Amino acid sequence: MCSPRKHTLARRPSELVRAAGNKGLGMNGGLGMPIEILLVEDNPADVRLIMEALGNSKMKSHLNVARDGVEALALLRGVPPRQKHAHVDLILLDLNLPRKNGREVLVELKCDPKLQHLPVIVLTTSEAEEDIRKAYAAHANCYVTKPVGLEPFMRVMQSIEDFWLNVVRLPGGEAHGCKFHSNPAYRG
């Protein structure tokens, strides 16, 4: 491990960019600059639930979906076939992914000087103490266990939105009224 500096899914989810919740002001100050969220999730049902939760949001957001860790890192780095990197403000990362699991993705993100500033919310079904410990050791910004059931899941997503999109000041942006600049290290 490195030492980083201190609703249909007819299309591939990674190609799906969804504008959600254009109802209110928030971190982007209503300037038409949506919060860019990368969801790294292979379960289509969870993708739909998260899309629904963000669709009910007061914040403007775009949700990009990667179905595995390799796809997520390629999207963030602009690796072919994607010629351009995605601008991302916040990452929702599942741990149990095909090809490259979430633990490996987290380590790579936090070891990459151009990506390590991105806040990563581990959002997973695992309640294992070892997974929690390893996620924080790899510099996850928080660890959230996905609850079972629609109502509890929606409450958790609302809590994530309330804290991460309304309270926290994310890198390159400022809460309540300032233009949001995402992922400046990879801007073209």
Residue for token digits 């309270």?
A: 167
CATH of the domain at 21: 3.40.50.2300
The answer as to whether 73 is a domain residue is: yes
Checking if the pLDDT of 187 tops 70, the result is: no
Would you say residue 176 has pLDDT above 50? no
Residue 43 lies in domain = 13-181
Task: Tell me whether residue 152 is exposed, middle or buried, using C-beta atoms within 10 angstroms of its C-beta: 0 to 12, 13 to 18, 19 or more.
Answer: exposed
In the chain, the number of structural domains is 1
Each residue's pLDDT tens digit, 14-27: 333 333 333 333 34
> Does residue 129 lie in a domain region?
yes
Whole-number Å distance between alpha carbons of 156 and 176: 22
Tokens of 100: 């490259």
- Whole-prediction pTM value? 0.75
- Domain membership of residue 20 (yes or no) is yes
pLDDT, one tens digit per residue, over 82-130 is 555 668 889 999 999 999 999 999 999 999 998 999 999 999 999 999 9
Residues 110-127 as b/e (b if ≥16 CB within 10 A, e otherwise) read bebeebbbbbbbbbbebe
Tokens, residue 122: 């581990």
d(CA 154, CA 131): 23
- Angle among Cα 168, 66, 61 to the nearest 5 degrees reads 40
Mean pLDDT across the chain: 75
Q: Please give the biggest Cα pair distance in the chain.
A: 42
